[in-house]
Amino acid sequence: MFDLAVVGAGPGGYVAAIKAAQAGLRVACLERRALAGGTCLNVGCIPTKTMLHITELAEQAGQQAKVLRDKPGSGVELAKLVKHREQVVQQLGKGIGFLFKKNKVEALWGESARFVSPTKLAFGNREVEAKHVIVATGSTPAELPGLKIDEKHILSSDGALSLTQAPKKLLVVGGGVVGLEFATVFRRLGSSVEVLEFLPQIGGALDTQVAQSLRKILEKQGVKIHTGVAVQGATVEGDHVTVTAKANGTTMQFAGDKVLVCVGRRANTQNLGLEELGVEKDRAGRILVDEHYNTNVAPILAIGDCIPGPMLAHKAEEDGVAAVENILGHPASNHFYKYVPAVVYTSPECATVGATEDELKQARVAYKAASFPMAANSRSKCNGHTDGFVKVLVDPATTRILGASIIAECAGEMITELTLAVKYGITATQLAATIHPHPTISEAVKEACLAASAKAIHL
């Protein structure tokens, strides 16, 4: 018998398995794929960021040629990019496999697990028994009524990664994180891209000011964006797709070669045998847990995308660590959710942590907003990336940072400093008094904090 069985080897599952093994537990990790890493590594974060990076390099080469009055490069060949991307995925996946061996985690591959009892799982032709079980089965792309995904004309994000040729015209249904990142990739690959978003703004829960700024920048780059659009359905004729939608009571039609559906994700909690055990779920199919990740059926715990909370790889990793700590008898909770940063990897990137202005207004919390434009940052000027700003929201009495949003070249790297501040109560005054190396993009954080606590120097 194992001390712990982890179902799923995604970011939450593999981290939980390794953490438990490092603590001396005998651990098995059951994964239906042949490679660890889950959605993030195989068909999510890593493949898309690889594509974003390579296409960005190609775009920068074109910009460099324009500045230096040189001949532009030949662009990116998608088939070669896909091959490179898969090499990255394989290398990282094998790296996780190595970590399993190093930490003596027994990894079982290529089958779907199903509960036989709260402590026993069927996995192919064998049974795995454990004192505790962590469900870390992740999520899959959600579908939209009227848009039947066939992965030929109407694609999920998984299907989009299988393309070896960029479509001439791509319709992206959904202007959230995934939709905007794919819109950026395919626009760089030469596709004409239109985004259809149901909500009045793009970017999901981004700060309104950031979302508005991002929209202007993406449209300037060539992405057409329609908000307040309710997609009704699609018809396929030959190699073309027509999407029917409504906006303000008016029926509209959009034509393209491919339709990419990016309307969120749903928890992978089907066919696990949870219903037979009486494990409670919410209406969206997510497993309900308490603050220590326990389900209502002991000794089953659940983490990551298959429970309520942000569907983010780094959140799942922290879930995994906390769940194992609870198994070990060291109480840990999911109260860190309000400190989880989120990033949109467009160009420029957008990042946020803590409260947004809208949230503070709704909660009637007193705050002061201060910002600093990237156009006034020396390194951004050197790099030719002057769009965007750093924005901090502080308690007007203490300058404690309540939330922060960034739209900038390296927003995903910059947000960590502000995440630390939000979590540990660091004030804008303290960050402003912290020496930042020059010239760096991070100086914009210092200047925004100066603007919140005193007055920015370079503005």
- Domains observed in the chain: 2-140+266-338 (3.50.50.60), 154-262 (3.50.50.60), 348-453 (3.30.390.30)
Global model pTM greater than 0.85: yes
Instruction: State the catalytic residues.
Output: 438
* Residues near 267 by beta carbon (within 8 Å), at least 6 away in sequence: 137, 138, 139, 284, 285, 286, 287, 305, 306, 307
Tens digit of pLDDT for each residue in 68-90? 555 555 578 899 999 999 999 99
Q: What mean pLDDT is predicted for residues 10-22? A: 99
Could you list the residues known to form a binding site, using ranges: 49, 137-139, 174-181, 197, 264, 305, 311-314
Q: Taking all residues of the chain, what is their mean pLDDT, rounded to a whole number?
A: 95
Confidence (pLDDT) at 61: 81
Structure-derived torsion over alpha carbons of residues 109, 110, 116, 120, reported in degrees to the nearest 10: 0
Q: What is the pLDDT of residue 246?
A: 96
Provide the percentage of residues in the chain whose pLDDT is more than 70.
Answer: 97
Question: ∠140-141-142 over CA atoms, to 5°?
Answer: 115
Scan for tokens 């007193």, then name that residue: 366
Express each pLDDT in 348-361 by its tens digit: 999 999 999 999 99
Binding residues for NAD(+): 174-181, 197, 264, 305
Task: Give the pair of three-digit tokens for residue 13.
Answer: 């599952």
Residue 435 pLDDT greater than 60, yes or no: yes
- The confidence score (pLDDT) of residue 60 equals 83
- Find the mean pLDDT for residues 95-114: 97
Q: Which of 69-83, 127-141, 241-255, 285-299 shows the lowest mean pLDDT across its residues?
A: 69-83
Looking at residue 112, what is its pLDDT? 96
Encoding tokens for residue 389?
């700003």
Q: How far apart are CA 288 and CA 302, in angstroms?
A: 8
Q: What is the DSSP letter of 18?
A: H
Percent of the chain with pLDDT over 90: 92
Cα gap 52→36, rounded to integer Å = 22
Q: Is the pLDDT of residue 372 over 90?
A: yes
What confidence tier does 255 reach under pLDDT thresholds 50, 70, 90?
very high
Structure-model confidence comparison of residues 323 and 455, the more confident one: 323
Looking at residue 47, its pLDDT comes to 94
Helix, strand, or coil here: 294?
strand
Write down the pLDDT at residue 9: 98
Could you tell me which residue, 57 or 365, shows the higher pLDDT?
365
**Span 277-297, average pLDDT:** 98
Between the alpha carbon of residue 364 and those of residues 205, 357, 358, 371, 381, the distances in Å are 18, 10, 10, 21, 38
The pLDDT assigned to 73 comes to 55
- Give binding residues for FAD as ranges: 49, 137-139, 311-314
- Distance CA(292)–CA(300), nearest Å, equals 11
Work out the average pLDDT over 362-385.
97
446 φ, ψ (degrees, to nearest 5): -60, -45
User: DSSP letter at 287?
Assistant: B
Question: In 3-state terms, what secondary structure has residue 190?
Answer: coil
pLDDT at 454: 85
